[in-house]
Structure 1
């Protein structure tokens, strides 16, 4: 993948909350769904049309006019299953090279075209069976999207040379360091796969490959792989969205029809591995909490037994209502988390049980308890209620994938390759409706045998890695004769096509009303699919913590799903599971939220659960003690993750001792242990009140339907006791630039958080700030990310952003760089910051980054969840409702001069604090060499002697 920075999403949420393209009043959306959705009977279908060009290129058209967007989803049917021996990671490296330029699109320009057109969700990914490339554009850019995709597939190899190969080898190796070696349990997962699969099996290595194999790939290998697999007869494009099928077919023929087919792709024939004796291994890693993995080989995707094991995974560990969660997390309190899944692939699947232990808990004891539950499921079928919960969750998740054209397109491509039928969705769902309780037990008996599995115990200790693979000096110039072509030159392809007439950018006007008790209700009707999302937002975030009780806001929110006056924690979990819904509570900096998301049919019950959590918390003593242990373990887990640690220490230094936002949101070990029921109830009584709350709802509900649902649930809510006095947060004090190091011995990367106080949400120049930041570090194509990733190969990704709240503001640049280039990376970063402040952007750059925010609005906010999240943030930040409708005008009015002024006023190098979490022995000399004398602090941000 292309190292996703938050891109435009964070900036726009910070500016004006969730935005979604809206239909004119009274217009009914034309949807890809036909007929009524009947999930129980499996009667779910997507209207699609598949055609194959003469060269073998497959195209699947999914016409859907709900939003003025088109998703472009290209699958190349090649992944690690197609790699040669000694070339692990090849398919993934090739994915990166596909973005490095093509015959008609210079290196670095591909993503700029997407940005300038208002594209969203632009990326690629590789799994064991395929590689995909996707983006979503406004519907008037249909031809541009096809031009880009065709050049990637047909003409990328024309521009690949030793320079671009060396650069992407650096990037991918940085990704491996970040995702495996500097991430807790990363090497543990790799060890598990190596124990499951024998030498020579294409699934044995991680998708990303080894350092040695990545570095060893030669330019000839790249050309051979392209010649074999990156041909039109081994690729499928799904177009999903707002287009005319006749026009789309003609354009597909124009751009893809002349690409030459390759030879028939070699067939992959690999026997399914068989384990006949349990394999056990212990892996030590730089972790705080031990972890247990139990893994079995299971039937391939869509084969007999695959659906049964999917259901078994839900029953055993599919959420808080599952058996293992109830036993190990809630009852025995031996586990911090439980995850169970049937990871389905084409050659064989893996059933994996993953349990992170609490401090001091025995992995052997946990394993015995898990074995007992598996044995019980094998002999006693799941209850009808458990089977219903699994079906409901699967149904809801499938519908949510169809809500967004980006994920809908990928789902259709998935079915096309894995099931051989792009219209397989109904049959897929029917698999679960047809199986019975006894089928699940019989399948568990057949496949989950103790002597057929791999057991991995991950324990704290030394991280053992293969010998370091040197990075040779990168070539600065391609050698003569390095480039070649697979397809004939066609001069007309050199000119990018123009856009069709754009449809009017219509953003939703928020609808709001207030109940008699003062509760604000904000809702956004979104017909099309029978889904509803909601959030109750309360001004009870971290900023409301008493000075002597850091973490209390988060603790209070976490307790809400753990029992009410009429329901236990288990009953709440089971009630949500029956609905196939999600129900969560959490606290942020300025607000706390309870979120619900599910089917329209379950909206009454789901909102009823949400109301019960908010209005009737029990704060039972046993649950408080369990939550204490959970939060103490989470505090330990945070120390494992360098990026989280860098952010936490950055907050402490930025806000200063005593400020409510300076302490970790979890609190401290002492404050967690000191919490009792009286403190929790007092905080809840003071802050969870209707006049300080908003209920935000989006989905397939009218105002009449919504009022009928919420009046009985929230109308009588009065709040208890005295309300907390409104006390503004302390002002952020002026700070001086400094550098802070937190030691993480042996770390292969340095996690950086470069932070300073920033403007609040009410800043009149917020639009100019965000446009400026998009150029600096907010976009993938930004100056900082381009320099540190694409030019220097120092990082997998660096991004910057402004967080603008009602009473808090912060600027930050975040990412991880290779340990040995920590100093040079900061030097380059400072050059880009100074450059941003020195002179105005040129017209081309300004137009691109401004359009990247303005034209992308429909694509950024095209789901109920996105709408609810944005409107919740908008209300929390104190913005007026018309901020949404005003946003296009404000963004469109940003000029080079106003963006420069924003940089000069809100991007002050003299206030930037650098927090570097990494190997002190290696990074301190680099920092001193660039004139930075670092302070060394501990994992809580406290100065060390």
Structure 2
């Protein structure tokens, strides 16, 4: 077993000056030039290390606030898994100046929505509210960043511990195939590697920890210098910065957080693992190959490979396994995170299929890919989809804010969208074949056989691997000597900020026309992004079934059949043509109408409409 070491450093907690002296420094200002794909913003840094990013978008009177902490389950120590996600729960349970259960109440009564999410590498908290509620949101976020721990009680701790354990049961332990990812990760990564357990953590770890362990986790990782505050919407950057200085500026800097870097796991031979699933009715086979982390060029090449192998109706796995009714589903994807990636193939076969045969089919799929290669159409389709996805991600404020926060957290460059898009639009056939040869072709994998009751012997192959802790040395995570130091303010922080001026909703101009003499059309023009979206609505939906009970379900069947072959295209070919344009056409039925939704990049609209006419 390869010996792994983590290097983490911690420094003493330092106190910042009062907020009136915590002047933010302008680090960067990004504006759009021409038609480039960019999210304009201003970036500042407070003396305590907090990064503040502001994106102005005055199209709607709303604001989206995101605080991302660069800590996820990858910063947990073995034996104390699940802390990052556990702490996400605790962050909603009140702080010095926010009473129990008031966090949700304040935001919802302000007309907003909120949530928090945790993954392997980061935890984020976010709210979308009317623009006049901005100060209140920053006050809330600052209070739980700087004034949380005294409000963390044993009772709250126990309630949330039970909540997290219940969540694990509902999402993992007691659902079909819920534990497959956990088994695969545990056997893919070396013992002690923080990706070897899921973000939800193990129940036994949750049971053994105490409230002081949780408080230490906060003190170690939740300092302002390990966070990014991103605000977007109908705001003025200078106003946002002043509020950030006021509410966040006096919060003491936390211990220093060194970047984490670990090698991609090395597997010498295929690792066969089996697991019983008491909830699954059908067996499943999962193959996992270690791959490079996110934001690498090889990540993109492997994304293309996954699409060819097992995504969509034109993929090899769909054609060979699903369409032939060998498998209920079969797919491939390349999942990447900060430290590494995983190329995954997953097949759920129909009853009677042997997992050993399924494994052979997967290996045959790779051989078919080698003969087939990567076509110009594959690359064109992938590039168009990537461009369309990047542009559509700019449609709303929350999407833009989330993207800025992620880029800043993981690359240190909030203006990474151009480089990120270039990775996708520049990928070549040669890149894909090189990545395939380097990471997949004839390389060993973790192969998990998911067994069901009565079919305990349906293994791809006998188990041949056991996790070993040999050579593992626990790192120093930097928990010694941590102290809780509260901010000192020259204003009354306990006072809930009031509302700003009532927002004014400006309805965009729109037009009405009668097309072809009978079609009533209404539309509006927006120059924010080069995307065209339109909807066709035909009267008559599911309620029409009542006119003739013998034809119940006809409306739904019609919309379903609209996804099948047309006169000139098979369903697979039609889907492929849409993908090459980065466009979408969907048909569905409501109670009183049949609806057709179309979305296209502006430059591809004519060709998309031609496909709509065909359908």
TM-score of the aligned structures, taking structure 2 as reference length: 0.84
- Contact kept in structure 2, 1:284 and 1:463, CA below 8 Å: no
Structure 1 equivalent of residue 485 of structure 2: 486
Q: 1:193 to 1:463 in 2, by over 3 A?
A: farther
Structure 2 equivalent of residue 595 of structure 1: 597
1:76-129 CA-to-partner distances (Å, cap 9, x unmatched) read 111111001111111001001001101111111112221122223x10100100
Q: 2:183 aligns to what SS in structure 1?
A: helix
- TM superposition shift of 1:393: 1.0
Q: 1:239 to 1:535 in 2, by over 3 A?
A: same
Looking at structure 2, the residues matched to 589 and 89 of structure 1 have their Cα atoms a distance apart, in angstroms, of 44
Looking at structure 2, the residues matched to 532 and 336 of structure 1 have their Cα atoms a distance apart, in angstroms, of 35
- Contact kept in structure 2, 1:47 and 1:62, CA below 8 Å: yes
Structure 1 equivalent of residue 236 of structure 2: 244
Which of 134, 152, 163 is equivalent to 1:171? Answer: 163
Count of aligned positions: 556
- TM superposition shift of 1:391: 1.0
- TM superposition shift of 1:507: 4.8
Looking at structure 2, the residues matched to 574 and 267 of structure 1 have their Cα atoms a distance apart, in angstroms, of 41
Looking at structure 2, the residues matched to 304 and 510 of structure 1 have their Cα atoms a distance apart, in angstroms, of 43
- Contact kept in structure 1, 2:297 and 2:423, CA below 8 Å: no
- For structure 2, the residue ranges without an aligned partner over 5 or more in a row are 1-29, 457-482
Looking at structure 2, the residues matched to 293 and 514 of structure 1 have their Cα atoms a distance apart, in angstroms, of 54
1:125-156 CA-to-partner distances (Å, cap 9, x unmatched) read 00100000011222222211211111121112
Structure 2 equivalent of residue 621 of structure 1: none
- TM superposition shift of 1:521: 3.5
Looking at structure 1, the residues matched to 530 and 374 of structure 2 have their Cα atoms a distance apart, in angstroms, of 28
Structure 2 equivalent of residue 103 of structure 1: 96
- Contact kept in structure 1, 2:185 and 2:197, CA below 8 Å: yes
- Contact kept in structure 1, 2:182 and 2:198, CA below 8 Å: yes
Structure 2 equivalent of residue 68 of structure 1: 61
- For structure 1, the residue ranges without an aligned partner over 5 or more in a row are 1-31, 38-42, 465-483, 614-945
Q: 1:353 aligns to what SS in structure 2?
A: strand
Looking at structure 2, the residues matched to 565 and 340 of structure 1 have their Cα atoms a distance apart, in angstroms, of 30
| 2:453 counterpart of 1:461 | yes
- Contact kept in structure 2, 1:227 and 1:486, CA below 8 Å: no
Which of 85, 105, 125 is equivalent to 1:133? Answer: 125
Looking at structure 1, the residues matched to 405 and 416 of structure 2 have their Cα atoms a distance apart, in angstroms, of 10
Looking at structure 1, the residues matched to 86 and 289 of structure 2 have their Cα atoms a distance apart, in angstroms, of 29
Which of 293, 299, 305 is equivalent to 1:306? Answer: 299
Looking at structure 1, the residues matched to 607 and 93 of structure 2 have their Cα atoms a distance apart, in angstroms, of 50
Looking at structure 1, the residues matched to 357 and 539 of structure 2 have their Cα atoms a distance apart, in angstroms, of 43
Structure 2 equivalent of residue 579 of structure 1: 581
Q: 2:492 aligns to what SS in structure 1?
A: helix
Which protein has the bigger helix share? 1
Structure 1 equivalent of residue 504 of structure 2: 504
Q: 1:372 to 1:170 in 2, by over 3 A?
A: same
User: Any residues of structure 2 matched to 1:717-866 within 5 Å, and which?
Assistant: none
Looking at structure 1, the residues matched to 106 and 454 of structure 2 have their Cα atoms a distance apart, in angstroms, of 46
Looking at structure 2, the residues matched to 281 and 364 of structure 1 have their Cα atoms a distance apart, in angstroms, of 13
- Contact kept in structure 1, 2:83 and 2:201, CA below 8 Å: yes
Structure 2 equivalent of residue 92 of structure 1: 85
Q: 1:514 to 1:323 in 2, by over 3 A?
A: farther
Structure 2 equivalent of residue 437 of structure 1: 429
| 2:49 counterpart of 1:56 | yes
Q: 1:183 to 1:493 in 2, by over 3 A?
A: same
Q: 1:612 to 1:296 in 2, by over 3 A?
A: same
1:710-769 CA-to-partner distances (Å, cap 9, x unmatched) read xxxxxxxxxxxxxxxxxxxxxxxxxxxxxxxxxxxxxxxxxxxxxxxxxxxxxxxxxxxx
1:430-461 CA-to-partner distances (Å, cap 9, x unmatched) read 11233321110111111014442122233443
- Contact kept in structure 2, 1:583 and 1:595, CA below 8 Å: yes
Which of 245, 249, 254 is equivalent to 1:257? Answer: 249
- TM superposition shift of 1:399: 1.5
Q: 1:147 to 1:517 in 2, by over 3 A?
A: same
- Contact kept in structure 2, 1:542 and 1:591, CA below 8 Å: yes
| 2:402 counterpart of 1:410 | yes
Q: 1:193 to 1:589 in 2, by over 3 A?
A: farther
- TM superposition shift of 1:512: 4.9
Structure 1 equivalent of residue 154 of structure 2: 162
Q: 1:176 aligns to what SS in structure 2?
A: helix
Structure 1 equivalent of residue 32 of structure 2: 34
1:842-880 CA-to-partner distances (Å, cap 9, x unmatched) read xxxxxxxxxxxxxxxxxxxxxxxxxxxxxxxxxxxxxxx
- TM superposition shift of 1:489: 5.1
| 2:427 counterpart of 1:428 | no
Looking at structure 1, the residues matched to 330 and 31 of structure 2 have their Cα atoms a distance apart, in angstroms, of 35
Structure 1 equivalent of residue 22 of structure 2: none
Looking at structure 2, the residues matched to 604 and 158 of structure 1 have their Cα atoms a distance apart, in angstroms, of 61
Q: 1:494 aligns to what SS in structure 2?
A: coil
| 2:566 counterpart of 1:568 | no
- TM superposition shift of 1:364: 4.1
Which of 332, 340, 345 is equivalent to 2:337? Answer: 345
Looking at structure 1, the residues matched to 134 and 401 of structure 2 have their Cα atoms a distance apart, in angstroms, of 15
Structure 1 equivalent of residue 461 of structure 2: none
- TM superposition shift of 1:211: 1.8
Looking at structure 2, the residues matched to 456 and 603 of structure 1 have their Cα atoms a distance apart, in angstroms, of 45
| 2:359 counterpart of 1:367 | yes
Structure 2 equivalent of residue 329 of structure 1: 322
- Contact kept in structure 2, 1:377 and 1:441, CA below 8 Å: no
Looking at structure 1, the residues matched to 97 and 69 of structure 2 have their Cα atoms a distance apart, in angstroms, of 21
- Contact kept in structure 2, 1:321 and 1:574, CA below 8 Å: yes
Looking at structure 2, the residues matched to 88 and 597 of structure 1 have their Cα atoms a distance apart, in angstroms, of 43
Q: 2:196 aligns to what SS in structure 1?
A: coil
Q: 1:187 to 1:538 in 2, by over 3 A?
A: farther
1:544-586 CA-to-partner distances (Å, cap 9, x unmatched) read 4464565443333222121112221122111111111233334
Looking at structure 2, the residues matched to 225 and 71 of structure 1 have their Cα atoms a distance apart, in angstroms, of 27
- TM superposition shift of 1:159: 0.7
Looking at structure 2, the residues matched to 52 and 86 of structure 1 have their Cα atoms a distance apart, in angstroms, of 36
- TM superposition shift of 1:368: 3.0
- TM superposition shift of 1:185: 1.6
Structure 2 equivalent of residue 878 of structure 1: none
- TM superposition shift of 1:541: 4.2
| 2:75 counterpart of 1:82 | yes
Q: 1:158 aligns to what SS in structure 2?
A: helix
- Contact kept in structure 1, 2:42 and 2:237, CA below 8 Å: no
Looking at structure 1, the residues matched to 384 and 498 of structure 2 have their Cα atoms a distance apart, in angstroms, of 45
- TM superposition shift of 1:416: 1.2
Looking at structure 1, the residues matched to 555 and 214 of structure 2 have their Cα atoms a distance apart, in angstroms, of 53
Moved more, 163-172 or 503-512: 503-512
Looking at structure 2, the residues matched to 560 and 273 of structure 1 have their Cα atoms a distance apart, in angstroms, of 45
Looking at structure 1, the residues matched to 222 and 338 of structure 2 have their Cα atoms a distance apart, in angstroms, of 20
Structure 2 equivalent of residue 145 of structure 1: 137
Structure 1 equivalent of residue 310 of structure 2: 317
Looking at structure 1, the residues matched to 269 and 314 of structure 2 have their Cα atoms a distance apart, in angstroms, of 32
Structure 1 equivalent of residue 288 of structure 2: 295
| 2:490 counterpart of 1:523 | no
- Contact kept in structure 2, 1:234 and 1:265, CA below 8 Å: yes
Q: 1:206 aligns to what SS in structure 2?
A: coil
Looking at structure 2, the residues matched to 80 and 607 of structure 1 have their Cα atoms a distance apart, in angstroms, of 46
Which of 602, 609, 612 is equivalent to 2:611? Answer: 609
Looking at structure 1, the residues matched to 256 and 213 of structure 2 have their Cα atoms a distance apart, in angstroms, of 18
Looking at structure 2, the residues matched to 328 and 526 of structure 1 have their Cα atoms a distance apart, in angstroms, of 44
Looking at structure 2, the residues matched to 160 and 276 of structure 1 have their Cα atoms a distance apart, in angstroms, of 46
Looking at structure 2, the residues matched to 82 and 432 of structure 1 have their Cα atoms a distance apart, in angstroms, of 30
Looking at structure 1, the residues matched to 263 and 430 of structure 2 have their Cα atoms a distance apart, in angstroms, of 29
Q: 1:508 to 1:358 in 2, by over 3 A?
A: farther
